Structure 1
Amino acid sequence: MDMITKMVMERPVVIYSKSSCCMSHTIKTLLCDFGANPAVYELDEISRGREIEQALLRLGCSPAVPGVFIGGELVGGANEVMSLHLNGSLIPMLKRAGALWV
């Protein structure tokens, strides 16, 4: 988990994804369309990806991908991100984290 903590503190928005996951693609597209420029880690393409996936599950991100962190805090998966978007709190959260400047 120390590895995840270090990774999520390096950028305002971090997404743990799998290249074949359609929900991961949807969340990456949504955040990129806002201009957030997230760090994306494709767990099926990086070394220690399986280890990171298990750590995400232990943190409570179920399913593990997409696992979204904003401002160093676990937001959750696609359902949580979409809920934040629909209730109008996603963009303010991205601004507070320094991911958006507008």
Structure 2
Amino acid sequence: MDTITSMVAEKPVVIFSKSTCCLCHSVTSLIRNFGANPTVHELDTMAEGQQIEEALLQMGCRPSVPAVFIGQQFIGGSKKIMSLHVRN
């Protein structure tokens, strides 16, 4: 959990993702289309990716990716982001 806290503290928009996940790619593209430049951490390419994924699950992110943090706050996964987008 401390690792996630320090990773999201560094940038205004952070997405935890997997390089093979189409929902992760879609959410990242959507956020970029709003003009944001998110920092994307591909968990499947990181040495500590499994531990970060487990911490995301403990935080309540189901499934674990994509997990979007804005302003150091956990916003949600793909369902939440798409829901917010539809509601503007």
- Shorter-chain TM-score above 0.5: yes
Aligned to 1:92: none
> Alpha-carbon deviations, 1:55-76, whole Å to 9, x = none?
0000000100001111111111
Identity over aligned pairs, percent:
55
Q: What is residue 49 of structure 1 aligned with on the other side?
A: 49
Return the letter of the residue paired with 1:72. Q
Structure 1: runs of 5 or more not aligned: 89-102
Deviation at 1:87, TM superposition (A): 1.0
If the length of structure 1 is used for normalisation, what is the TM-score?
Answer: 0.84
RMSD: 0.6
Q: What's 2:39 paired with?
A: 39
- Cα deviation, 1:61-102, whole Å, max 9, x if unaligned, reads 0100001111111111000001111111xxxxxxxxxxxxxx
Task: Give distance in 2, aligned partners of 1:8 and 1:16.
Answer: 10
Distance 2:66 2:74 in 1: 11
Unpaired segments of 5 or more residues in structure 2?
A: none
TM-score normalised by the chain length of structure 2:
0.97
Q: Decide which structure has the larger Cα Rg and report it.
A: 1
